[in-house]
């Protein structure tokens, strides 16, 4: 409500009526701020610690663009990122991860005010949080300032000015405050979220010298003072626009690049640089993904990202991109360290900063560490690309702790997230194309560690462009003469299991059973297609359907139907060579053929 009140007072399109509808269905003032819903809200926050890490992402994005575009006399990006953070925020692990990263990177454009009121929902922070917060942040490499009285506005301003002058370290200003100041319950847990009641509201107004019976009172002189923000903002924006115009005149090429980058439009002809993979050999889809990244990077300067200490394994390093480090913010290779949760949240902040398409990588199993950040990115409608490799028991010797089972189903359950599991190098190309074009939502790419066969798209199988519709007929059913006929069985598969389905189809076709193989790299995209197309791919009249995927069964029943079957995993994997693990767990031609025969 503090944020909404300030947005209203300073002239944003947030009428007083919307404040009166706080937390009501359909209002622009939901219980926690949503960036796409409320004018002036820049980040969707709520879960503690997320805003802290998002702010680090904003600072990273600004630092990168400033390093790329600023020139002497033309600081087109000279902003600071501010946040108010709480005791609860600083207890969360994601905040610790992000704070450590921010300190390492020396993000001097980051200024956080720590609302040190020493109270959480259960009571005093002494119940669970007795550490010396300023010293912890000092050890992270932050600049520490303290304001003893949160009502001393001059002291707060002095601290902010000092923080602005610190350019080599992020700043934490510890502000001692009293929660619920002026309320009868001030300084207690009841002031946190308990409804105070009418009498307590009146008592609070008396304590603060406010008319007791006035509701939603805004004195004219107060409103006039706050609305000066509009005039000041217009003046500041006008000065900045003039600076950008001069910049574009002085540095024509950079000026064009600046406008293109900040417009959010993709460079013309970028798709022409997607690799064709005409002479490719069997490779892991993670390797093919690396080739796509490096083919596009020179032509998509907004593409920036890295991994949680797994660049060599996830193939996500941009060659000659340089490392993003303190003093080298122009680098395009992010080193997030072993901080998956912070990585996910930082990526969201980078995207919301504008001008960037950020990506981050780790092993598929560790997407669990990132799930809260992925969920908020989907809710926030931002473009982030998650690269998840080592996508199944096929990764092999690392064993069940690293072999994902339920992760695919969990990611598919998140609204507004595309989950794409490509079958070969050509589908990898299409997956990246889809992710780059999806400007208002995140995409997860799910890739193999083990090599997958190269599918002959020119002479044997359907073009990979079919993946643009989420699922497509890869190999259709034929009779003994080779003519296309209606299938008796439909094999449905994703990722590395598609080639297995093709091998099983060949065996069944030799027996005289017409079999169609459908590649389904992205369920969410398939569900967006018109009904006629979906039924043309999976005919309702063909009830013998077999799904094949090295993951949990959840979700497959909608496609195989009540008469179908799924070869999936209902247990954890095991340590051993990847091909052995897959074979022992039922992902072999003999088992697929046997289960197909049983359906028929």
Say yes or no to pLDDT of 277 above 90.
yes
C-alpha separations of 51 from 66, 70, 204, 370 in Å: 22, 27, 30, 14
- The pLDDT of residue 60 is 98
For 46-177, the fitting CATH number among 3.40.50.970, 2.60.40.1730, 1.10.3720.10, 3.90.730.10 is 3.40.50.970
pLDDT band at 310 (very low <50, low <70, confident <90, very high): very high
- The pLDDT of residue 80 is 97
CATH number of this structure's domain 465-599: 3.40.50.920
Question: Which two tokens mark 444?
Answer: 């997860």
The pLDDT > 70 percentage for the chain reads: 100
Q: What is the pTM of this model?
A: 0.97
Question: Which two tokens mark 20?
Answer: 């009166």
Summarised one tens digit per residue, pLDDT across range 112-153 is 999 999 999 999 999 999 999 999 999 999 999 999 999 999
SS3 track for 131-156: CCHHHHHHHHCCEEEEECCCCCHHHH
Q: Residue 86's beta-bridge partner residues?
A: 115
Q: 70 exposed, middle or buried (CB, 10 Å; 0-12, 13-18, 19+)?
A: middle
Summarised one tens digit per residue, pLDDT across range 514-536 is 999 999 999 999 999 999 999 99
Q: Residue 491's beta-bridge partner residues?
A: 517, 546
Domain map of the chain by residue range? 46-177, 230-263, 270-452, 465-599
The pLDDT > 90 percentage for the chain reads: 98
Region at 565 (left for phi over 0; alpha for psi -120 to 50; beta for the rest): beta
Looking at 147-151, 211-215, 519-523, 539-543, which range is the least confident one?
211-215
Residues forming the active site:
340
**∠ CA(506), CA(507), CA(512), 5° rounding?**
90
Alpha helices by DSSP H, 21-152: 50-69, 87-91, 93-105, 133-140
Supply the DSSP symbol for 157: H
Map residue 295 onto helix, strand or coil. Answer: helix
pLDDT band at 439 (very low <50, low <70, confident <90, very high): very high
Q: Which class is domain 270-452?
A: alpha beta
N-terminal to C-terminal alpha carbon distance within the chain? 62
2-9 and 220-250 helices, crossing angle to 10°: 80
Summarised one tens digit per residue, pLDDT across range 61-99 is 999 999 999 999 999 999 999 999 999 999 999 999 999
pLDDT band at 451 (very low <50, low <70, confident <90, very high): very high
Same fold, 46-177 and 465-599: yes
Closest CA to 550 of 505, 477, 495: 495
220-250 and 252-263 helices, crossing angle to 10°: 130
pLDDT band at 485 (very low <50, low <70, confident <90, very high): very high
Say yes or no to pLDDT of 324 above 90.
yes
Question: Which two tokens mark 403?
Answer: 């072999």
Cβ distance 486 to 514 under 8 Å? Answer: yes
Quote the mean pLDDT of the chain: 97
Summarised one tens digit per residue, pLDDT across range 554-584 is 999 999 999 999 999 999 999 999 999 999 9
554 Cα distance to chain centroid: 23
């Amino acid at each position: 409500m503090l944020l909404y009140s300030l947005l209203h007072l300073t002239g944003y399109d947030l009428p007083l009526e919307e404040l009166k509808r706080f937390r009501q269905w359909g209002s622009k003032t939901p219980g926690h701020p949503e960036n796409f819903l409320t004018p002036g809200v820049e980040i969707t926050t709520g879960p503690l610690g997320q805003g802290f890490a998002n702010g680090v992402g904003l600072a990273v994005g600004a630092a990168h663009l400033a390093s790329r575009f600023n020139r002497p006399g033309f600081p087109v990006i000279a902003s600071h990122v501010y946040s108010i953070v709480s005791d609860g925020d600083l207890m969360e692990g994601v905040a610790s991860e992000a704070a450590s990263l921010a300190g390492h990177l020396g993000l001097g454009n980051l200024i956080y005010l720590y609302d040190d009121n020493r109270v959480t929902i259960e009571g005093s922070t002494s119940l669970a949080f007795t550490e010396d917060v300023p010293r912890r942040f000092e050890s992270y490499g932050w600049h520490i300032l303290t304001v003893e009285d949160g009502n001393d506005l001059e002291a707060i301003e002095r601290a902010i000015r000092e923080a602005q002058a610190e350019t080599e370290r992020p700043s934490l200003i510890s502000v001692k405050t009293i929660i619920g100041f002026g309320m009868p319950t001030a300084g207690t847990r009841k002031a946190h979220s308990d409804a105070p009641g009418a009498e307590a509201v009146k008592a609070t107004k008396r304590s603060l010298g406010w008319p007791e019976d006035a509701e939603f009172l805004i004195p004219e002189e107060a409103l006039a003072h706050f609305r000066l923000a509009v005039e000041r903002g217009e003046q500041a924006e006008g000065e900045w626009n003039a600076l950008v115009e001069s910049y574009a005149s002085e540095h024509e090429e950079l000026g064009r690049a600046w406008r293109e980058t900040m417009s959010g439009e993709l460079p013309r002809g970028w798709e022409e640089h997607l690799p064709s993979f005409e002479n490719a050999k069997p490779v892991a889809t993670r390797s093919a993904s690396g080739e796509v990244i490096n083919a596009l990077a020179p032509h998509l300067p907004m593409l920036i990202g890295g991994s949680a200490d797994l660049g060599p394994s996830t193939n996500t390093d941009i060659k000659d991109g340089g490392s993003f480090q303190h003093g080298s913010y122009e680098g395009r290779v992010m080193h997030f360290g072993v901080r998956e949760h912070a990585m996910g949240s930082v990526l969201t902040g980078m995207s919301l900063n504008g001008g960037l398409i950020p990506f981050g990588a780790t092993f598929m199993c560790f997407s669990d560490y990132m799930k809260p950040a992925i969920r908020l990115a989907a809710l926030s409608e931002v473009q982030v690309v998650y690269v998840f490799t080592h996508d199944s028991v096929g990764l092999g010797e690392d064993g069940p702790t690293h072999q994902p089972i339920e992760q695919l189903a969990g990611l598919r359950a998140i609204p507004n997230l595309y989950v794409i599991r490509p079958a070969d190098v050509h589908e990898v190309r299409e997956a990246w194309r889809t992710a780059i074009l999806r400007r208002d939502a995140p995409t997860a790419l799910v890739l193999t560690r083990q090599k997958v066969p190269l599918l002959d798209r020119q002479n044997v199988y359907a073009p990979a462009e079919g993946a643009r519709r989420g699922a497509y007929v890869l190999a259709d059913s034929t009779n003994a003469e080779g003519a296309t006929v209606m299938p008796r069985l439909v094999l449905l598969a994703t990722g590395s299991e598609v080639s297995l389905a093709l091998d099983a189809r060949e065996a069944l076709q030799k027996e005289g059973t017409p079999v169609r193989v459908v590649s389904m790299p992205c369920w969410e995209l398939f569900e967006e297609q018109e009904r006629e197309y979906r039924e043309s791919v999976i005919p309702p009249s063909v009830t013998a359907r077999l799904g094949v995927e090295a993951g949990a069964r959840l979700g497959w029943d909608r496609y195989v139907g009540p008469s179908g079957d799924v070869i999936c995993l209902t247990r954890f994997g095991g340590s051993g060579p990847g091909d052995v693990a897959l074979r022992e767990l039922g992902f072999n031609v003999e088992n697929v053929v046997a289960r197909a025969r049983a359906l028929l």
